[in-house]
Amino acid sequence: MPSERLKDRVAVITGAASGIGRAVAVLFARAGARVALLDVNREDGSALELELGPPARFYACDVSDRRDVRAAFDSVADELGFIDILINNAGISHVGTVETTSEAAFDRIYRVNVKGVYNCLQAAVRGMNGRGGAIVNMASTVSTIGIPERFAYSMSKGAVLAMTRSVACDYLDRNIRCNAIAPARIHTPFVDGFIAANYPGREDDMFERLSRTQPIGRMGRPEEVAALALYLCSDEAGFITGANFPIDGGTISLRP
């Protein structure tokens, strides 16, 4: 039963206030986990804490800030217990080629999507305190394939995949499993905001066009990604580490 799969395990979820992170938090709480909700959005994070109720706790945290991360993880350990699970989900996107990506934009993507993952990996490994655990890093289909005008974002997600495999290799003897999930386009508030900002008056048409770019003919749902994360963090996945799991409607294997 879902209510028993993560019973009493402490799960840290970054970027938990919306989209995929929110779906993971809701599902993990239903599965019995004590969820630590990390996000820079205080309003939405606090609202989710209220919605889930105890023992869910919200911690305001900028993953790109090492001190912020350390403070948040220390608070989780003090208030919820030793960390069993990390969902490294916080991230930002960017549209541009190598020529149109400014240095400032590149640095911002790096700080959040690469350094942020590093900061949380380091804190989680220490917080697992030799007891073992499960880590899921949110990569992307662009970790392994190219798509137009995603230069900096692709760079960052390629780094996430490399870090996943490195951590999986380095911590075998400490029973820490580390895997990646590689979503294609998932229907989140970010997607709606992107379409509204870039295609005013054409929102419905662009939504359909973007949906059809995936062979299955639709965008994924955050709940589908959350279900995969639940499996990877459960005992059923105890023989899986260092792997990358596309959840992409056939984007990698079936596209022309």
Q: What is the pLDDT of residues 15-47, one digit of tens each?
A: 999 999 999 999 999 999 999 999 999 999 999
Say which of 59, 118, 153, 171 is annotated catalytic: 153
* 153 carries an active-site annotation: yes
Residue 139 sits in which domain range?
2-184+222-246
Type of residue at 94: H
Over its C-alpha atoms, the chain yields an Rg (Å, rounded) of 18
Give the model's pLDDT for residue 106: 98
Give the model's pLDDT for residue 1: 44
**191 in the same domain as 240:** no
Instruction: Identify the CA nearest to 219 among candidates 207, 228, 230.
Output: 207
| DSSP letters for 87-129 | EE-------B-TTT--HHHHHHHIIIIIIHHHHHHHHHHHHTT
Q: Is position 252 within any domain?
A: no
pLDDT digits (tens, 9 = 90+) for 54-112: 999 999 999 999 999 999 999 999 999 999 999 999 999 999 999 999 999 999 999 99
Domain count across the chain: 2
Whole-angstrom CA distances from 211 to 56, 156, 163 are 34, 24, 30
**206 in the same domain as 103:** no
**116 in the same domain as 205:** no
**156 in the same domain as 52:** yes
pLDDT digits (tens, 9 = 90+) for 198-234: 889 999 999 999 999 999 999 999 999 999 999 999 9
- Distance in Å from the first CA to the final CA of the chain: 39
**213 in the same domain as 110:** no
Tokens of 115: 């350094």
β-pairing, 244-247 vs 176-183, is: parallel
**191 in the same domain as 172:** no
* Residue 53: how many other CB atoms lie within 10 Å: 8
Q: Is position 251 within any domain?
A: no
What is the average per-residue pLDDT within 154-160? Answer: 98
**76 in the same domain as 29:** yes
**194 in the same domain as 237:** no
Q: Is position 180 within any domain?
A: yes
